[in-house]
Structure 1
């Protein structure tokens, strides 16, 4: 510390309690350079992340969304087809019963 004073204890107030700090972090060195270095590291990480979401990746995302939309449309069309086939199946069952009834009447 300045003027050769010795720090005997350090703490942070937290409500009605205090949190003791290790003395080696309170050595009198300003925190600003460390905070600036941390800030620069954070900015570098943000820039790196931004580069990962570059134009080729954006294009890939657009194509993937388009493909997803096409798949959803296909699924909707297939569901309509399934519903129509179920209706035809029920009609066919009805026709089979009519034919079976007619055959039974003819044979008796």
Structure 2
């Protein structure tokens, strides 16, 4: 996992990380990558969902998404992935509650939550 505060696919433009101390710039480090949307274009992808874990109800939804991904794998329908937007208050230099709110107010606007693809539905 990403544990050192380094830039990730979900790092937003101007967001500072240990590997982008001046803030992410599209022309320099590239733009955020919407992994679910990228994989949705590939043949053989059967289930993609983006969730968060910033509040109890979201954790329950994330567990259901992971179970659904395993269901796809058990049925051998194709590639499955659950993208989880999680908080990093230490490296974001925010309090825990502020980081939970930031996921809803900022990050999920760039990375909308929900099922991207489900071939069993």
Kindly name which structure, 1 or 2, has the bigger radius of gyration based on alpha carbons.
1
TM-score of the alignment, normalized to the shorter chain, above 0.5: no
> TM class, shorter-chain normalised?
under 0.3
In terms of fraction of residues, the more strand-rich structure is: 2
In terms of fraction of residues, the more helix-rich structure is: 1
More contact order relative to length (CA 8 Å, sep ≥ 6): 2
